[in-house]
Structure 1
């Protein structure tokens, strides 16, 4: 039995359309075809080094990735991977830094530059979520999610265990100290919340965690005071008395004349105006505010009148801070404030200088 003419026509059209689609998919455009390397490994490497010297990080990335793709076993492959870590730091692409460090560690287990990769991994985790308006208000990282800080802390612990005599070990220890303070403040934020909702046991547990795990942080006085306050509210006078005795020996100003704890004094609590405006207006009594910020600075969220700004990290008064100085919170690569800025061609930096964030093999001024 033959098909009606209109059905034969529809079938022919369907087959024609299907064959066209298949033909297009099997013949991709030339743009999608990788024709292989367009230059030698040495040419790619030289171009990458020139781009790095000029600060052209997109161009440098393109050449370094070409080496990684086309010459994975070449003499410049390992150095290209290290330079990619540096470039991603300069671009503030910290997830890409983590991917690059993990890949370098996996592919180069015997490399003498492994310590750099492990150190960079911790710094990248620490830098995540540290940008934005939080830098210009009294809000701290501890008021938000601290998972990246916890990961960074463990990264630095592993790094110091592996390389205790590394040139980065001192900076890693300083970072661990800073992170410990942030984690302690995070715990105290939870303790304050539990005090407000009268969850005394939870507030005590959070505060005891700070005392046990972060004993060298500035949050210890408030943690002890919160423990005392919690036991007082629970009616456990004996336990509260034990902690009151500790406060009298170490922080007598936190004990009132009637023998009870002064929790507000332990918190260094600012005015309600200061808290409601995220530190822009009003008086703040936070102990780690190193400088008084001007009204102009606070109203502009730190964009104006920066000379009196209290930074959330180590205060630096320099015309320009390098990447090393910024990621190390002012501990490394300090620049002389009186040094004039000369507009001239930058001297060529060696790979050792770049992978060490400028700490080693510094180029001489020409």
Structure 2
């Protein structure tokens, strides 16, 4: 599809640096490169010159199945949207290495650079009354708040469909009805509906796609949750635990989840009311509120929960069959039965192996 190249150019230390934010590549260029990029974008034929060859080889003019012209905000948010995606190289297989060795080595390499985590603004401080740890304990909220924690160890036990339905409804459902009766009563045109979490403009741009893995009475697959009617629509059955783990950038412990939820944002909903790209922040905040609600709800239901934004964006969007210029996955929520530990078993095994190797080297040294 012929369209403008997904690039921007910055001046850094007196040099021209071209960024291809689709492929996450950077190139140092000269003024002649800029002139030729402009000419080629205006449909001028390419020559056999070195500059033209370099430009074509960079891939900035390669076809793309997505129609970038559908994007409803400005180029700033488009750069963020594409430039922060995790890209699977052309022809590459989905990753399946879950050893965590690279991640552990990276964490070890930066341990001496831990920033100050206790942030205090300068100025006179005002002491607050001690928190009442029995606050609303009779309602169970206290116990849920104290019990909530991230879990990364699951045992693939199946769970009842009723439990999943409860978590979907109390997180994403139209719990106050499928329209804003309060707006109508106030003499306003009712727009949207209300969930248990706040949403900018009551637009509810976040959509839930249930990834069913081990749910009693429900065929494994990916379903769209119809929040306003509390129903599911099957999207695909081409999913299992192994594939899910690979899509989540080899976080293979996810294969033992009972279910997960890919949360997308309907950008086209927001373009109607909020034409400025700052609204992309609202989309992220919307999902953040829902994610916390999901963790509290699943904790109350006796499930372990886990959240991640580490996944292969384009591959997930293809699986969900969405037009990612109008709707795109931004977060993943997972839940299931397990021992509740926040540490992935594979990570603990890798740490133990690396420590044993270190001890062995010390004995031999």
What TM-score, normalized by structure 1, do the two folds share? 0.18
Find the structure with the greater CA-based Rg. Answer: 1
Flag the structure with higher helix content. Answer: 1
Instruction: Tell me which of the two structures has the higher relative contact order, counting C-alpha pairs closer than 8 angstroms and 6 or more residues apart.
Output: 2
Q: Which has the higher strand share?
A: 2
TM-score by length of 2: 0.18
